[in-house]
Structure 1
Amino acid sequence: MRASRFFISTLKEAPSDAEIISHKLMLRAGMIKRLGSGIYNYMPMGLRVIRKVENIVREEMNRAGAIELLMPVVQPAELWQETGRWDKMGPELMRVKDRHGRDYAIQPTSEEVVTDLVRTEIKSYRQLPVNFYHIQTKFRDERRPRFGLMRGREFTMKDAYSFDRDVEGMQRSYQIMYDAYVRIFNRFGLQFRAVAADNGAIGGSGSHEFHVIADTGEDALVYCPTSSYAANIEAAEALPLATSRPAATEALVKASTPGKAKCADVAELLGLPLARTVKSIVLAVDDEEKGPAGTQLWLLMLRGDHDLNEVKAGKVPGLANYRFASEAEIVDWFGTEPGYLGPIGTRKPVKVVADRTVANMSDFVCGANEADFHYTGANWGRDVPEPLVADLRNVVEGDPSPDGQGVLAIQRGIEVGHVFQLGTRYSQDMKATYLDETGKPQLMQMGCYGIGVTRILGAAIEQNFDDKGIIWPASIAPFEVVLCPMGYDRNEQVRAEADRLYAELQAAGIDVILDDRGERPGVMFADWELIGVPHRIVIGDRGLKEGRLEYQGRRDAAATPVAVPEMAAFIQTRLANA
């Protein structure tokens, strides 16, 4: 490719609405252009990266035995209604009507469509297992699109769906896809981590997320440096910090704590460690048939220095559809405003759930359900009935690893892939069955596997940039090599060598661009450093007279002189070792 025949549209400054570094750099490098809220044009430079990401994904999916097809963006509402997700998905599901008034969804994912396809095409156990995938546009009507391609409304995703005869087969298919994902992210040249995760709204029995490691990541990844344990913080198990509960040694005392509504302030006033305090979080569960009279409040209790894990809370039996209680409800049930709540002496009966660590505490501090007062010396069994015990909190660094092999550490990550064991979540609702060896119908066991193709671009940049711009891994860079001739439009010798080397690299199968625009060196270098091409060759009149060219990797601090006849082989070696 010659730069004069390509479209290069760089900016010195990012638009004011660009937030994170990847958003700013993609706009400045002319890779994307905003069309509307969370909707972007993929410009030629950015599209080249997308296509390279897609090619790697496609090659590894094919290698793993998955079969490519293409499912539509617009999907009939009836399929989504079969699984109940037409209502459950909420406003993120873009709903439209055609001219006849029929309802359709702009797909955010394709579980329903692929299950419908398979239930009509697969009849016998002899046709299983099968795994279909596509790379397709998705749309999710995010409430607040932000961060460019990281959380846009329209995006490109690879989603695959496996169908098996039994659970063991599903688990084999899952492992095949897991292994394929590891190969994919290794080929991207990105530092990543696979972590156990919560299945969320998609359903199923188990899943792993694939995260690109970056300080700007929205997700906290928990791992044990001395073992293989790794999980998203939403799914990371928090072990109790004491193996058993000590005997009570203090009497229950109602202490005055004027104006001290936070655990840290109460601990400071009483001269006690924060870890002796217990915070109260009030949730509500509504019974729609009974109306307001059917609302039940739950009191969740965590140590004062711990934070509630909302995903875990939703897994407590009875709390699947919880919401946070309003202040008016709290006052009605507890007799005081938040900040002084506790399990002792509530106005109305509440269901008490203690985090594992709190359940093993004695002589703790909690609210007295009276403004400006807390109890000290509170104990389970003696002062308050034994609670329901559950894992409610987020882990923190230094917690014991659930596998018993060390302590936990935490790093930030950007989710770019997710693999799920769905089981019969969709096949049961949609009656997707096959006939087994005895001729009896059996539900198919499903798995699904997604990669955010366009999100990879933002994640890769968040991990690979400097003050000059993007630093692409060679495998997904828009171009592997850029030739920068000094005075291409003015110097015949420079032009001749640039053209010769360009032809030689092309013949070797290297994705090279020749900057023949005749720009000044400073402008030319700034453009390609911003765009992030990983390898640069400078061709200048002085160097040619000395029989050398200059090579500089995007991360190199200085250029390396290379003899003119050796440059093509030198570049091929660099690319092979990348």
Structure 2
Amino acid sequence: MRVSRLMLNTLRDVPAEADIISHQLLVRGGFIKRLTGGIYAYMPLLWKVLKKITLIVEEELSTKGCLQTLLPQLQPSDIWEKSGRWKSYTEGEGIMFSLKDRQGKELGLGPTHEEVITHIISQTIHSYKQLPINIFQIQTKFRDEIRPRFGLMRSREFIMKDAYSFHANENDLQSTYSEMRNAYQNIFSKCGLDFVCVEADSGAIGGAASQEFMVTAESGEDLILISSDGKYGANQEKAVSIIEEGELLEIDEPSIIKTPNQKTIDELCNHNNFHPSQIVKVIAYLATCDNNKKYPILVSIRGDQEVNDIKLSNEISFKLKQNVLEIRTISYEDIENQGINNIPFGFIGPDLSDDLITKSKEWEKKFIRIADNSVKDLKSFICGSNNKDEHKIFYNWSLINTEHLTCDIRKAQLGDRCIHDKTQKLKECRGIEIGHIFQLGTKYSKSLNATFTNEKGIEENFWMGCYGIGISRLAQAAVEQNHDDLGIIWPVSIAPFEVIIVIANIKNVEQTCLAEEIYQKLLENRVDALLDDRDERAGIKFKDADLIGIPWRIVVGREASSGLVELHNRKAKVTESLNVGSVLKKLSEEFNT
């Protein structure tokens, strides 16, 4: 390919709408063009990157026996209603684009395809002899992001690989899950990325177990906690840890103390010489579920710890057997709207009375009371008295006349001890999710009544796995991890071109002829080469070459008459003066051609 035919349009200034470096570089390099918020055109340079990533994915999954297909993007609402996900995906802050056709039937633009593939397999596979099956597709998906940002990282239209496996039993699912984890490691290694595999929350997809593959980068949206030896890693949403023991409060006669205007943990500690770990902090939450009910929740947690809203939401969903659409702290607006009477914020105790909840039809009449593991063994603690400007001191759980569900709803954090090895402390880094694998179990096959006949002639629900890779997101994550002050440094395996040949002076016949000779020989040796044949100053060409990040650069300049050219390695920043034969030999060895 010649640059003069590439429709290359680079920018020197940083675009105003681009917040992170990878987004800035993709726009400046002419890789993407914004149509509107969260919607981008993939220009020829990026399309080559995406095709190379796609080929790596297709080849690796084919070696695992996966079958490629293409599923409909338009999906009828009825199969989503059967799985119980239609409301949560289309109402409130749901991410599905929904519409009605001319017959008035509701449809959604697919953000994911669990329902579709389960429905199809239920009509196609009927016997255990046809299992296991692993089907994948690569196509455009749609998500109505509340705040699309960071370019391709959080866009409303994106390219994704999703795969779905079907099994006769759990052991077979776990075997394929392990194979897919291995395939993902191979894929991301072949793409030239530094990545980590961590335990993750299954979110709206659901299932018993899931793992995320993260590209480590300072701009990553996800916080990852990893043990010092690297043997344990988890997204903070999922991470479990052992906290350091707090400062124990002595056991004494329970009493009430006056704490005027001491609503926060810091205020309470500073005025009374308490330690946060001696306090049971109580927070009032409100969960809205897909049965249209609102459930008030009281959470008790150690004063120096924070609640993990994802863990809390999962516990509520499990207890109620309902999908939680939203979970948030109860506000003064809820009091004004008469869902609940005046709550003594800052002085709430674990035994706050259910009588405060009004008789609103939307609200459940009793608090769901949850105590984090961090407080369950406290023999003496401080907590709110449920009266303004008062706290209880030297209290214990036997004096709290209410039942609590005890579980882990705490945010694991930097410095906590690892649950797998108490000698290891957790460290943190940020990551960009590029892949996610799930053990779905029978969640979707049960709700959609997808069954097969087992070897005893009995109908059973399929065991399912789900495996996703964000193809377009991976491309930008590669840029976020591989760049410098000059521009992108693409890994060779996914670079739009492996080599760029720059003619320093297009009007010099010797330079032009030698560049053409090198270009043709590279093509003959199946090296993906780009020839910069523009009538531009050499400095402009060098800046563009650095910006778009081609791994190797051949500069044909003043020494062309002697048969010498400069070979520059973009990543190593090493430049050599070599004859054409040596350049071709070096590049052939580099690309194994």
TM-score (ref. length: structure 2): 0.90
Aligned mates of 2:78, 2:42 — CA distance in 1: 32
Deviations 1:303-343 (A, max 9, x none): 22321111211233546635532336579978544222222
Give the counterpart letter for 1:501 in structure 2: I
Pick closer, same or farther for the CA change 1:330–1:300 going to 2, 3 Å.
Answer: farther
Is 1:550 the counterpart of 2:566? The answer is: yes
Instruction: Using the TM superposition, give the Cα deviation of residue 360 of structure 1 relative to its aligned residue in structure 2, in angstroms.
Output: 2.6
Give the counterpart letter for 1:197 in structure 2: A
1:483 corresponding residue in structure 2: 501
1:20-31 correspondence runs (5 A): 20-31=20-31
SS of the residue aligned with 2:267? Answer: helix
Aligned mates of 2:208, 2:221 — CA distance in 1: 24
1:498-513 correspondence runs (5 A): 498-513=515-530
Give the counterpart letter for 1:109 in structure 2: T
2:69 corresponding residue in structure 1: 69
1:136 corresponding residue in structure 2: 139
**2:228–2:427 contact (8 Å) kept in structure 1:** yes
1:261 corresponding residue in structure 2: 263
Partner residue of 2:511 out of 478, 488, 494: 494
2:48 corresponding residue in structure 1: 48
1:518 corresponding residue in structure 2: 535
Is 1:311 the counterpart of 2:310? The answer is: yes
Aligned mates of 1:113, 1:354 — CA distance in 2: 39
1:288-327 correspondence runs (5 A): 297-316=296-315, 318=319, 321=324, 323-327=328-332
SS of the residue aligned with 2:493? Answer: helix
Pick closer, same or farther for the CA change 1:111–1:315 going to 2, 3 Å.
Answer: closer
Partner residue of 1:119 out of 119, 122, 128: 122
Instruction: Using the TM superposition, give the Cα deviation of residue 187 of structure 1 relative to its aligned residue in structure 2, in angstroms.
Output: 0.6
SS of the residue aligned with 2:204? Answer: helix
Aligned residues: 571
Deviations 1:171-203 (A, max 9, x none): 111111111101001111111111111111112
Instruction: Using the TM superposition, give the Cα deviation of residue 30 of structure 1 relative to its aligned residue in structure 2, in angstroms.
Output: 0.6
Instruction: Using the TM superposition, give the Cα deviation of residue 266 of structure 1 relative to its aligned residue in structure 2, in angstroms.
Output: 2.2
Give the counterpart letter for 2:239 in structure 1: A
Give the counterpart letter for 1:560 in structure 2: E
Q: Which runs of 5+ in 1 are unaligned?
A: none
Pick closer, same or farther for the CA change 1:375–1:437 going to 2, 3 Å.
Answer: closer
Flag as ranges the 4+ runs of structure 1 deviating above 6 A: 286-289, 330-334
Is 1:100 the counterpart of 2:107? The answer is: no
1:325-404 correspondence runs (5 A): 325-327=330-332, 336-343=343-350, 346=353, 348=355, 350-382=367-399, 387-404=404-421
Is 1:572 the counterpart of 2:588? The answer is: yes
Give the counterpart letter for 2:330 in structure 1: A
2:361 corresponding residue in structure 1: none
SS of the residue aligned with 2:314? Answer: coil
Deviates more, 1:199-208 or 1:255-264: 255-264
1:203-222 correspondence runs (5 A): 203-222=206-225
Q: Which runs of 5+ in 2 are unaligned?
A: 356-365
Pick closer, same or farther for the CA change 1:140–1:271 going to 2, 3 Å.
Answer: same
Pick closer, same or farther for the CA change 1:358–1:476 going to 2, 3 Å.
Answer: same
1:452 corresponding residue in structure 2: 470
Deviations 1:88-143 (A, max 9, x none): 31331111222222222111111122112211221222211111111011011112
Is 1:413 the counterpart of 2:431? The answer is: yes
**1:343–1:384 contact (8 Å) kept in structure 2:** no
Pick closer, same or farther for the CA change 1:285–1:496 going to 2, 3 Å.
Answer: closer
Aligned mates of 1:156, 1:2 — CA distance in 2: 27
Give the counterpart letter for 2:391 in structure 1: H
SS of the residue aligned with 1:403? Answer: coil
Aligned mates of 1:346, 1:524 — CA distance in 2: 73
Instruction: Using the TM superposition, give the Cα deviation of residue 264 of structure 1 relative to its aligned residue in structure 2, in angstroms.
Output: 2.0
Deviates more, 1:334-343 or 1:501-510: 334-343
**1:307–1:394 contact (8 Å) kept in structure 2:** yes
Give the counterpart letter for 1:507 in structure 2: E
Pick closer, same or farther for the CA change 1:340–1:576 going to 2, 3 Å.
Answer: farther
